[in-house]
Structure 1
Amino acid sequence: MPKSPQNRLFGRGSRVEARRIADILRTETAGGVLLLVAAVTALVWANSPWSEGYRSLSAVELGPASWHLDLTLAQWAADGLLAIFFFVAGLELKREFVAGDLRDPRRAALPVAAAVGGVAVPAAIYVAVNVAGGTGAPVGWAVPTATDIAFALAVLGLISTHLPAALRTFLLTLAVVDDLIAITIIAIFYTSALAWGPLLLALVPLAGFALLVQRRVRSWWLLLPLAAAAWILVHASGVHATVAGVLLAFTVPVIRRSPGDGPGLAEHFEHRWRPLSAGLAVPLFAFFAAGVSLSGAGGLAGSLRDPVAVGVVLGLVVGKVVGITSSTWLVQRFTRAELADGLSWWDVAGLAMLGGVGFTVSLLIGELAFGAGTPRDDHAKVGVLVGSLIAAVLASVVLRARNRHYRRLCAEEEQDWDADGVPDSAARV
């Protein structure tokens, strides 16, 4: 007896949602290309005869010392610019679960379970490798847990694959949930000393920001000072300042007051800030974070002999595939669902391989775990770069091999949608 549409994994959602996801992915893909350019530039410069200039630039300090904001350019990129990245990620996550297709718990279960599996298994592999290696460095367990959506989409753009809308939505949502898990890990496990005074004071500008956005205030001259104050106080508390970006995003309303009000405030902010995040904030962070020297400590081969790098590579290349694929299988097993027509487990494995492209958040966690510029931080960065490259190549092989099939599915998908944007065979997870 055939399964009902409600028991399909990766079923087609609404056409409006598919178009919104496509718009987001176009911005992120362009940002991913800039991210790759920035990372390659930093890597080449850091290993050139002019490498001292790169290190000197990263160490330039800016900001008032009286407010403990005399940070280096590299620190401003990690603490300040990435707060914009996490603000946009928080907006996307809230909007997806409040007003998107994933407001249906059955559809949300799949990417959430896959994200959790894609975090847990790489972390376990990293810990196993480092405990067996006797390095005493399991503190870096979270480094291989993150998926970089911009980097992953840049890979998709380069191989020109026609990934169906449901798979694109799954990849984006998985990466956003992954980012939320990562920021939670950073807040809980990588806060060395906590100052309660500034943390409690941060609630004041956060509450003011929430009050204004709930009243649908869009004036930047009112909202930006409150957001900056919240960021400064969270930074002073010892909690990583990027947490402020997520907290601010979660206060922004998603639902419009009435149908004639135009886009919701979350959609408005996301439209304004996503280009800045993808086009400036993340590439600049990558530029200052990816410039690891490959000539010291035995060079590239020496770095890859360190269990820290080995654990990161295996976590990204093996752990992500096992974690995401097995979690998807468990959802299918316990919900008695089937893959949507035309899809196979090779497609799930290909997306899981693409999930092993970890970069932005992985580099950030490596700096928090080992200390920026330390030998083990450099080895973790080498592991992130090598593991992401291997994962990207493997994903490209699998997804490119299925590209003709994806092109046919996309054509059928376009024909299947009604004029009102609802698919005739509206498959739901």
Structure 2
Amino acid sequence: LLTLAVVDDLFAILIIAVFFTSDLNFAALGGAVAGLAVFWFLLRRLRVRGWYVYVPLALVIWGLMYNSGVHATIAGVAMGLMLRCHREEGEEASPGERIEHLVRPYSAGLAVPLFALFSAGVAVGGDALADIFTRPETLGVVLGLVVGKAVGIFGGTWLTARFTRASLSEELAWSDLFAVSVLAGIGFTVSLLIGELAFTDDPHLTDEVKAAVLVGSLVAVLLATVLLRLRNRVYVRLRAEEERDEDLDGVPDVYQQDDPAHHQRLADAYEDKAAEHRARARKRDDPGAGSA
């Protein structure tokens, strides 16, 4: 699920870079690319460690990317992709894991909530909700989050499994994938950012698009909750089946289906149980038999 969220945001940021870039400053862009090359060389070749090296360099790259006309988030994405995320011999954590551990409290606890707070500051009333489902722009946002994400992720995965050597994990069902695809319709930070960039000339429409993002995300949450709860019931039943041990030998029955001794023990247990119930039935039909 985390990989899905990262890839989803990555493609959205690439869309920002391609479709929302106007005038390019090639000198600044070249400087940003050169800075990224230095970043990669220090990190991958020289194996330099120390935040005091990378933080100033990252700020320079970010500033150059911003002044180049390309959205500055591309700089962060590029540097993130350069991080090594696999552990080498003797390492307790990879550079990517260490940085993720250090940055997560500030990112999840401060940056993302502040961005959402300032970006989604729009009043959602009855008139605004009515406009969401009548204007083509806002209706497109809602349908894109609720329907587009589900169809795109599920359909893309199915096509990949159908026409390549890739396959769905044996531990998952296509129903599970569809439920998670619907859950991916929760669009917040990046969706709000694209909404702001797409309708900069119409502040009123920008606010309505923000409201549409919130409504679409809410609908996706509700639908995904229903689907995931249904799938959870299936797995609860499967778990109960896997843990059933009717012959009380300490081994779940599901692992002994080909064992004749297991079936004999079950037959004996059922016969004993049947005899017990017959005795109770006879005692009920003839109450005096017990006293005699």
What's the TM-score bracket when you normalise by the shorter of the two chains? 0.7 to 0.9
Q: Does 1:264 align with 2:58?
A: no
Aligned to 1:291: 121
CA contact (8 A) 1:216 1:265 kept: no
Aligned to 1:72: none
Q: Does 1:309 align with 2:138?
A: yes
Aligned to 1:245: 76
In structure 1, C-alpha distance between the alignment counterparts of 2:95 and 2:240, rounded to whole Å: 33
In structure 1, C-alpha distance between the alignment counterparts of 2:72 and 2:48, rounded to whole Å: 24
Q: Give CA deviations for 1:169-220 in whole Å, capped at 9, x if unaligned.
A: xx22222111221111111111122111111122343333223222222211
* Aligned with 2:35 (options 201, 205, 213): 205
Deviation at 1:254, TM superposition (A): 3.4
Deviation at 1:325, TM superposition (A): 2.1
DSSP 3-state at the match of 1:402: helix
DSSP 3-state at the match of 1:308: helix
TM-score by length of 2: 0.74
* Aligned with 1:218 (options 29, 49, 66): 49
Q: Which amino acid aligns with 1:221?
A: Y
* Aligned with 2:152 (options 308, 311, 323): 323
Aligned to 1:386: 215
Aligned to 2:249: none
Q: Which amino acid aligns with 2:13?
A: I
DSSP 3-state at the match of 1:202: helix
Deviation at 1:333, TM superposition (A): 2.6
DSSP 3-state at the match of 2:224: helix
Deviation at 1:370, TM superposition (A): 0.8
Q: Give CA deviations for 1:67-88 in whole Å, capped at 9, x if unaligned.
A: xxxxxxxxxxxxxxxxxxxxxx
Aligned to 2:252: none
Deviation at 1:330, TM superposition (A): 2.1
Q: Give CA deviations for 1:112-134 in whole Å, capped at 9, x if unaligned.
A: xxxxxxxxxxxxxxxxxxxxxxx
* Aligned with 2:235 (options 395, 398, 406): 406
Deviation at 1:364, TM superposition (A): 0.4
Return the index of the structure with the highest Cα Rg.
2
CA contact (8 A) 1:232 1:241 kept: yes
Q: Does 1:395 align with 2:224?
A: yes
Give the 3 Å change call, closer, same or farther, for CA 217–372 of structure 1 in structure 2: farther
Give the 3 Å change call, closer, same or farther, for CA 299–200 of structure 1 in structure 2: same
Q: Give CA deviations for 1:32-61 in whole Å, capped at 9, x if unaligned.
A: xxxxxxxxxxxxxxxxxxxxxxxxxxxxxx
Deviation at 1:279, TM superposition (A): 1.6
In structure 1, C-alpha distance between the alignment counterparts of 2:85 and 2:180, rounded to whole Å: 29
Deviation at 1:378, TM superposition (A): 1.3
**Which structure has the higher relative contact order (CA within 8 Å, separation 6+)?**
1
Aligned to 2:2: 172
Q: Which amino acid aligns with 2:75?
A: A
Deviation at 1:409, TM superposition (A): 6.6
Q: Does 1:354 align with 2:191?
A: no
Give the 3 Å change call, closer, same or farther, for CA 371–209 of structure 1 in structure 2: same
Give the 3 Å change call, closer, same or farther, for CA 239–411 of structure 1 in structure 2: farther
Q: Does 1:377 align with 2:206?
A: yes
CA contact (8 A) 2:36 2:79 kept: yes
In structure 2, C-alpha distance between the alignment counterparts of 1:236 and 1:408, rounded to whole Å: 57
CA contact (8 A) 1:370 1:377 kept: yes
Q: Which amino acid aligns with 1:282?
A: V
Q: Which amino acid aligns with 1:189?
A: F
Q: Which amino acid aligns with 1:308?
A: E
Q: Does 1:345 align with 2:174?
A: yes
Q: Which amino acid aligns with 2:67?
A: A
Q: Give CA deviations for 1:401-428 in whole Å, capped at 9, x if unaligned.
A: 2223335778999xxxxxxxxxxxxxxx
Determine what percentage of the aligned residue pairs are the same residue.
Answer: 54
Q: Give CA deviations for 1:296-333 in whole Å, capped at 9, x if unaligned.
A: 9x432124321111011111111222222222322333
In structure 2, C-alpha distance between the alignment counterparts of 1:221 and 1:335, rounded to whole Å: 45
Aligned to 2:260: none
Give the 3 Å change call, closer, same or farther, for CA 401–287 of structure 1 in structure 2: same
Give the 3 Å change call, closer, same or farther, for CA 221–359 of structure 1 in structure 2: same
In structure 2, C-alpha distance between the alignment counterparts of 1:193 and 1:310, rounded to whole Å: 30
CA RMSD of aligned residues (A): 2.7
> For structure 1, which runs of at least 5 residues remain unmatched after alignment?
1-170, 414-429
* Aligned with 1:233 (options 60, 64, 69): 64
DSSP 3-state at the match of 2:90: helix
- The number of aligned residues is 241
In structure 2, C-alpha distance between the alignment counterparts of 1:372 and 1:282, rounded to whole Å: 25
CA contact (8 A) 2:128 2:208 kept: no
Deviation at 1:255, TM superposition (A): 4.2
Deviation at 1:237, TM superposition (A): 1.1
DSSP 3-state at the match of 2:23: coil
Deviation at 1:335, TM superposition (A): 4.5
